[in-house]
């Protein structure tokens, strides 16, 4: 019996055309593809790791998350076909200029809504950063769940250290297990970078948002906001 992984690999090769290699690294690749008949475009991810968060998201829709259409695995190798979100990443936009306070609050609140979906199913993104947020007109979409995992209360720390330096919380370096407050740490760094262009350890944004960032990025997770709803309230 043909495996779902083999079937999907064959279908992708026969029915889809590769348009562009977006990124490639030791853990996998991301490609923009197009269905030859319908002309509809998708994102194809190949990565090594645990696909459980992608599999869970097959059952969920949210305007601030890409729709996941197919997930197939063979051992540690995974294929994911997801919605192609047309727009610019925050990372590319930040190369041109910073964001205003109101723009920052609006975008971060939308990212919080995406994270609320992930956190409600027990998942932690673990790699919230400007390059993983796409602005589709005025709508922020959080992408890339390759580093995401489900929180396991019985574990003392993460089994694999993943994340991006500067945005990764201290616990992601083996101090303890990451949980939803790990993503809140990254959101604090994100707010500061959108307003100042700098990590809060180098330049903390001023005023009330500076206090919000300071609480988000506390070394002790228990001193951070309890969840993204509390952070959204602080940004209102």
Residues with a known catalytic role: 127
DSSP of the chain:
---HHHHHHHHHHHHEEEEEEEEEETTEEEEEEEETTT--EEEEEEEES--HHHHHHTT---TTSPPEEEEEEETTEEEEEEE---SEEHHHHHTT-PPPHHHHHHHHHHHHHHHHHHHHTTEE----SGGGEEEETTEEEE---TT-EE--TT-SS-SS--S-TTTS-GGGGTTS---HHHHHHHHHHHHHHHHHSS-TTT-PPPHHHHHHHHHHT-SSGGGS-SSHHHHHHHH-
> What is the spatial distance between Cα 138 and Cα 150, in angstroms, rounded to a whole number?
30
> What is the spatial distance between Cα 155 and Cα 184, in angstroms, rounded to a whole number?
20
């Amino acid at each position: 019996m043909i495996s779902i992984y083999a079937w999907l690999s064959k279908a992708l090769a026969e029915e889809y055309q590769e348009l562009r290699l977006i990124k490639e690294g030791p853990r996998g690749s991301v490609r923009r593809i197009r269905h030859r008949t319908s002309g509809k475009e998708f994102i194809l991810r190949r990565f090594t790791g645990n696909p459980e968060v992608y599999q869970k998201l097959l059952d969920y829709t949210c305007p601030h998350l890409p729709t996941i259409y197919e997930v197939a695995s063979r051992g540690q190798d995974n294929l994911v076909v997801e919605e192609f979100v047309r727009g610019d990443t925050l990372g590319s936009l930040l190369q041109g200029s910073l964001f205003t306070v109101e723009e920052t609050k609006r975008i971060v609140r939308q990212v919080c809504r995406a994270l609320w979906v992930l956190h409600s199913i027990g998942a932690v993104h673990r790699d919230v950063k400007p390059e993983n947020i796409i602005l589709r007109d005025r709508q922020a979409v959080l992408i890339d769940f390759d580093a995401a995992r489900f929180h396991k209360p019985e574990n003392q720390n993460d089994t694999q250290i993943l994340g991006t330096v500067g945005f990764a919380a201290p616990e992601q370096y083996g101090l303890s297990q990451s949980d939803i407050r790990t993503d809140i740490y990254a959101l604090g760094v994100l707010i500061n970078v959108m307003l100042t262009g700098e990590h809060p350890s180098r330049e903390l944004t001023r005023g009330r948002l500076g206090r919000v960032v300071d609480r988000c990025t506390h070394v002790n997770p228990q001193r951070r906001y309890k969840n993204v709803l509390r952070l959204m309230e602080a940004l209102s």
